[in-house]
Every structure is written in structure tokens, then in C-alpha cells.
Amino acid sequence: MSHWLRAVLVALLLLAVPQAWTHQQKEAITRILFNPRTGNIEVMHRFLLHDAEHAVRQLRNGKADILGSEGDRKFFSDYVHGHFEMTDQDGRVLPLTPVGNEIEGRFLWIYAETVIPDGIKSLTLSNDALRDIWPEQLNLINVEGNGNIEILKSDP
């Protein structure tokens, strides 16, 4: 193989590498905190701004501006609240009250809470946010403040 052909192949490979680096894993993290000070279970969802904006575009079939539009952030927050559920050991849904959202760096945080029910022994958590858009979406859930931290993930 000539040096010229080898150089062209190496250049083509180097051009392809940045595209592989830009493909990000679709992933969100939810933190569930049993807060004895407030008596609440606090739910905090963290999404990449980029993913949230693309999701709003797809869900609305149009434009989205997560950074500049409180309406778009609320739309996405409502979507996330509609795709997350907690039930107790008897299968009763724990009603969550939305608390708000905020942008922190490259992340959009979405908050909700509910009162810690008397006699709670276990929780079943379901988080399928963005799975209807991207089946490969991975939603991790960290449960804290009620013994050891448990990490759960949705099946891709």
C-alpha cells in the first residue's frame, strides 16, 4: 500500500472518530430522598438539556427552547411527571406534587414530593420518561435516606 493511500485512510478514520464521540448515551438520573426533617419523599429528576429540548421538539412536532422558555420547561416537566410513578407495598399510587424545575449547567432538574406514608414498607418505582421517544433511554433511580442507597434501572 502506498504512503499516499495509507495517509488518506488514516485521515478518513480520524474524520469519523469525532462523530462517534458526539453520540451520547441517552440517560437520566432520578434521586428519591426520604427526608425525615420535612416528612416528605422528595423526587429529583435530572435530564440533559440537549435531550429535553430534542424531546420537546419531537413531542410538539416543532421548535423548543428549554433555556429560554418557561413554557417549554413546564411542558417537559409535565411530561416527566406523567411518566413517573411510585406505589406502596399495597399497590397504592403515592400522589406526587410538582415543586418546580431549574437549569443547572447542562442539566434540567425537575422536582416533586409527597408525604412519607405511615407504615410504608416498600416502594415500586416506574420511570419510563423518554422511552417512548428513544427505546434505548436508560433511567437510573437512586433511593436515599431510608437505610442503604439502592440503585435501580429501567430495562432498555
Residue 65 sits in a domain whose CATH number is: 2.60.40
Please report, rounded to a whole number, the percentage of residues in the chain having pLDDT higher than 70: 78
- Specify the number of domains making up the chain: 1
Bridge-based pairing state of the strands 97-104 and 107-115? antiparallel
Which residues, at least 6 apart from 130, have a Cβ–Cβ distance to it below 8 Å? Answer: 26, 28, 47, 51, 55, 83, 137, 139
Residue 20 placed within a domain: no
Residue 9 placed within a domain: no
pLDDT in tens, 109-122: 999 999 999 988 88
Reply yes or no on whether the pLDDT at 150 is more than 60: no
Place of cell 436515599: 144
Residue 19 placed within a domain: no
The pLDDT value given to residue 155: 55
Residue 4 placed within a domain: no
What does the pLDDT average to over 124-136? 94
- What counts of helices (H) and strands (E) characterise the chain? 3, 8
The pLDDT value given to residue 20: 43
Q: Which domain holds residue 125?
A: 25-153
Bridge-based pairing state of the strands 123-127 and 84-88? antiparallel
Among 42, 40, 37, smallest CA distance to 110 is for 42
Residue 54 placed within a domain: yes
Give the C-alpha separation, 50 to 37, whole Å.
Answer: 34
pLDDT in tens, 29-63: 999 999 999 999 999 999 999 999 999 999 998 88
Residue 5 placed within a domain: no
Residue 109 placed within a domain: yes
